[in-house]
Chains A and B, each alone.
Chain A
Amino acid sequence: MVASHVLTGKERGAKIIVIDPREIQMSRLADIYLRPWPGTDVAWLNGIMNVIINEGLADTAFVEERTEGFDELRQVVMEYPPEKVEQIAGIPADGLRAAARMYAQTKPAAILYAMGITQHTTGTDNVKTCANLAMLTGNVGVPGSGVNPLRGQNNVQGACDLGGLPNVYPGYQVVTIPDVKAKYEAAWGVEGMSGKLGLTVTEMIEAADKGDVRAIYVMGENPMLSDPDLNHARHCLEALDFLVVQDIFMTETAALADVVLPGASYLEKDGTFTNTDRRIQRVRKAVEAPGQAKADWEIICDLARAMGAPGFEFASPAAVMEEVVVTTPIYGGVSYDRLEAVEGLQWPVPTADHPGTPYLHKGKFSRGVGKFNPVQYQAAAELPDEEYPLILTTGRMMFHFHTGTMTRRTEKLEQEAPEPYVEIHPDDAQRIGLNGGKRVRVSSRRGAIEVAVRVTSTIRPGVVFIPFHYVEGPANALTHAALDPIAGIPEFKVCAVRVEPV
């Protein structure tokens, strides 16, 4: 969906720069394509800012009026001249200069990224550095600009908006603020709600091993394929006293559960989905859910009533939304009537007559002025060595979605991509002595898998790629559960592996 807009832009004269360790479909349409080593994003982003500042391409008016901390930023990025970045990131210095000039001189310019930026032990640093770059060039608060994190799923944004995070109530109201806690205690007619931060998913799995978490209720997620270091994740989930899984199919995680609750698919329920553009959109039931399956909200309400909890007497998702808007300022003006419009509503929508907010930070940041957070490059947690000489980076491919719970049950998609594989550069293939072999064994310090081999020059020598969709060759048996210290996101994009013929 986003690529479609990018391509429209290109046909109207927009420039495309793709920076990715793998040559992807979009890079073949790009004006500039650069290939960094996985895990070096802070270095090359700082390098781009180095060129922009040294060549006088920064938006000085924006920096002066709307930001603070420029001197600190300048000091840090001066340590990243393109020649030094070339040593760290493997991007030719001239290529980096060309990209810096194109980005800075084309207004407005948007940064689009996904998990390639975030799934690192330096994920938070990577995001801060992207924000620094956008502010340095005045590419914030203007249509067509900004730092745009692309969501991997249709309603990740919506789940976070409504408090599906360990640190916030709906609308990103932080749980540790006493007034927020008091507001929700009053609204929900309860007392003694926790004012402490909860655990992230990866922390919960760890805590299960230690016995600090004894029961987990998983909804529409399949950690037995999507979590890092799967052998360890299985051990942790098996250590639980009680595991409940709610999903539309019997997933690898559901197979471990004490209780499986059948959920409804997107075709079988009413509600809203909110994607990366903060656009709250209606989803409408087209068919009845089969068998005992129910919409998630119905299951949760049934469960609450069975536990004797008051306040779950909703008649419909619209009734749930009516409660949400009362306590959630960014959703304050949302109603199902207004959502009848095809274009939905983009939050913040504070009041019933507010038109919604197509882009953020117009004229002012939420903290007032924007603060540059300069960051130094740090290497990934696990780098190649003699025993494990290649970098493994994991990810997705076009034909399957996430853990394949839906797409691997779809005949036509399965025909397109029926088996797990590793992408490897011809030089590496030759050095390892694959001799035209069709299958390889890929091992890391955590585990080993056997997969088909695809020899391709779309990846650089020294790096291999495995999509994580396949249970019969799960890339996450190899990945490293090293976490970003702030966000708690695992480093799916870099670990060290060995590839051998079988």
Chain B
Amino acid sequence: MIEAIRARVAEKLKELDGVIGLRRSPEGVAPYLFHTEEELAELVLEPRYPMSSVVRLLQKRHPAARFGVVARGCDVRALVEMAKRNQVDPERLYIIGFTCTAEEAEACHCADPAPNVTGWPQAEVIGTPVAAGSPNPMVAEYAQMPRAERWAFWQQQFKKCIKCYGCRNICPVCFCESCALEDPLWVEPGVMAPPFPMYHMIKAMHMSNRCVACRQCELTCPAHIPLTVLYDLIRQDVENLMGYVPGADLEALPPVPLTLADAPIDLDVE
């Protein structure tokens, strides 16, 4: 797999201004903008890292450049959501997608372990798609709980939070320059654990129609809060009630208005 990807990246480097991927150096693995074929010996696929945030920053810094990116299924879903919100320019991004392994899909409980590049202007996918991972058993367990018990469950979980912002910082579809979670109007500063439900529910609402189920927030959380239980259920609600699946289709508009300025919403509430 890695050799096939390196070969394709080498080929695309001839026409692009660089390809974004993960590079292993003696200092560790970090996102990197590859320029030359010689550097590709250091291109790696692990550990997972949200590439959409790196694409966003590099595209903003180089407004005319055409880059490529080496991306997993969840990376592509995040790129799709970022593109809808004008954070990533699809016309200037070539996606070299690759399929996750069956083990990875199972470890992530991933429903969609292969990149879906339908509608992306220029893209390709390397590898053979594997079956979806089994669903997260914690979600089913949680869904059995009565409402009061659910409330108690989250209260207990969020007591562990140390307000490190890791879940937000790692999120591949999080990009606001000024964040409501840092605004004293919404979240009282200096309180530890941060006030529940405000801190966590603001984030959950903001993610409600863009969470692409990459699980990065949960993997990052030093307090081991099972965030994907919350986000999986929100995704289910958004799909069942609004027919929207984040990351699935570049053309589908999210059900929550993207901006208030040009939002076709009717404020007449009857």
Query: A residues engaging B (CB < 8 A)?
Result: 1, 3-4, 7-8, 11, 25, 28-29, 284, 286, 340, 397-399, 412, 415-417
In chain B, what residue has the closest Cβ to A285?
Answer: B27
Which chain B residues border A416 with CB–CB below 8 Å? Answer: 163, 189-190
B224 touches A417 (CB 8 A): no
CB distance from A287 to the nearest CB of B (A): 11
Given contacts A3-B162, A25-B193, A399-B190, 20 further A-B contacts (CB under 8 A): A3-B223, A4-B222, A4-B223, A7-B160, A11-B224, A25-B162, A28-B159, A29-B159, A284-B26, A284-B27, A340-B26, A398-B163, A399-B192, A412-B182, A415-B182, A415-B184, A415-B189, A416-B163, A416-B190, A417-B190
> Complex: how many Å from CA A286 to CA B223?
27
A7 touches B224 (CB 8 A): yes
> Complex: how many Å from CA A369 to CA B223?
38
**Any chain A CB within 8 A of the CB of B146?**
no
B189 touches A417 (CB 8 A): yes
| Pick from B28, B156, B190, B224: contact of A8, CB under 8 Å | B224
Which chain B residues border A399 with CB–CB below 8 Å? Answer: 190, 192
15 A–B contacts from the bound complex (CB under 8 Å): A3-B223, A4-B222, A7-B223, A7-B224, A8-B224, A11-B224, A25-B162, A25-B193, A28-B159, A29-B156, A29-B160, A340-B26, A398-B162, A398-B163, A415-B184
A398 touches B192 (CB 8 A): yes
In chain B, positions 10-50 with a C-beta closer than 8 Å to chain A are 26-28
Which chain B residues border A25 with CB–CB below 8 Å? Answer: 159, 162, 192-193
In chain B, what residue has the closest Cβ to A415?
Answer: B189
Which chain A residues border B27 with CB–CB below 8 Å? Answer: 284, 286
Which chain B residues border A340 with CB–CB below 8 Å? Answer: 26
> Complex: how many Å from CA A399 to CA B165?
13
In chain A, what residue has the closest Cβ to B27?
Answer: A284
In chain B, what residue has the closest Cβ to A4?
Answer: B222
> Complex: how many Å from CA A340 to CA B24?
13
> Complex: how many Å from CA A8 to CA B223?
8
In chain B, positions 127-144 with a C-beta closer than 8 Å to chain A are none
In chain B, positions 157-199 with a C-beta closer than 8 Å to chain A are 159-160, 162-163, 182, 184, 189-190, 192-193
> Complex: how many Å from CA A412 to CA B159?
21
Which chain B residues border A397 with CB–CB below 8 Å? Answer: 192
CB distance from B37 to the nearest CB of A (A): 26
> Complex: how many Å from CA A397 to CA B191?
10
What does DSSP make chain A's interface, helix, strand, loop or mixed? helix
CB distance from B162 to the nearest CB of A (A): 7
Which chain A residues border B160 with CB–CB below 8 Å? Answer: 7, 29
In chain A, what residue has the closest Cβ to B182?
Answer: A412
| Pick from A4, A286, A398, A412: contact of B224, CB under 8 Å | A4
> Complex: how many Å from CA A8 to CA B224?
7
Which chain A residues border B163 with CB–CB below 8 Å? Answer: 398, 416
Which chain B residues border A11 with CB–CB below 8 Å? Answer: 224
Which chain A residues border B26 with CB–CB below 8 Å? Answer: 284, 340
> Complex: how many Å from CA A8 to CA B225?
10
In chain B, positions 215-261 with a C-beta closer than 8 Å to chain A are 222-224
CB distance from A457 to the nearest CB of B (A): 15
B190 touches A1 (CB 8 A): no
Interface core residue of B26, B160, B224 (most chain A CB under 10 Å): B160
Which chain A residues border B28 with CB–CB below 8 Å? Answer: 284
Interface core residue of B26, B27, B190 (most chain A CB under 10 Å): B190
Which chain B residues border A28 with CB–CB below 8 Å? Answer: 159
> Complex: how many Å from CA A29 to CA B193?
11
CB distance from B128 to the nearest CB of A (A): 31
CB distance from A357 to the nearest CB of B (A): 25
In chain A, what residue has the closest Cβ to B160?
Answer: A7
CB distance from A60 to the nearest CB of B (A): 37
CB distance from B121 to the nearest CB of A (A): 35
> Complex: how many Å from CA A3 to CA B160?
9
CB distance from A22 to the nearest CB of B (A): 12
CB distance from A320 to the nearest CB of B (A): 18
| Pick from B156, B182, B184, B222: contact of A1, CB under 8 Å | B222
> Complex: how many Å from CA A412 to CA B182?
8
CB distance from B225 to the nearest CB of A (A): 9
In chain A, what residue has the closest Cβ to B183?
Answer: A415
Which chain A residues border B156 with CB–CB below 8 Å? Answer: 29
CB distance from B222 to the nearest CB of A (A): 5
CB distance from A336 to the nearest CB of B (A): 10
Interface core residue of B26, B182, B184, B189 (most chain A CB under 10 Å): B189
- In order of increasing CB-CB distance, the 4 nearest A-B pairs are A284-B27, A4-B222, A417-B190, A416-B189
In chain A, what residue has the closest Cβ to B25?
Answer: A284
Which chain A residues border B193 with CB–CB below 8 Å? Answer: 25
In chain B, what residue has the closest Cβ to A342?
Answer: B28
> Complex: how many Å from CA A219 to CA B6?
47
> Complex: how many Å from CA A399 to CA B192?
9
In chain B, what residue has the closest Cβ to A398?
Answer: B192
Which chain B residues border A8 with CB–CB below 8 Å? Answer: 224
User: Scoring B residues 41 to 77 as 1 if CB is less than 8 Å from chain A, else 0, what string do you get?
Assistant: 0000000000000000000000000000000000000
CB distance from B30 to the nearest CB of A (A): 9
Which chain A residues border B222 with CB–CB below 8 Å? Answer: 1, 4
> Complex: how many Å from CA A394 to CA B160?
24
CB distance from B188 to the nearest CB of A (A): 10
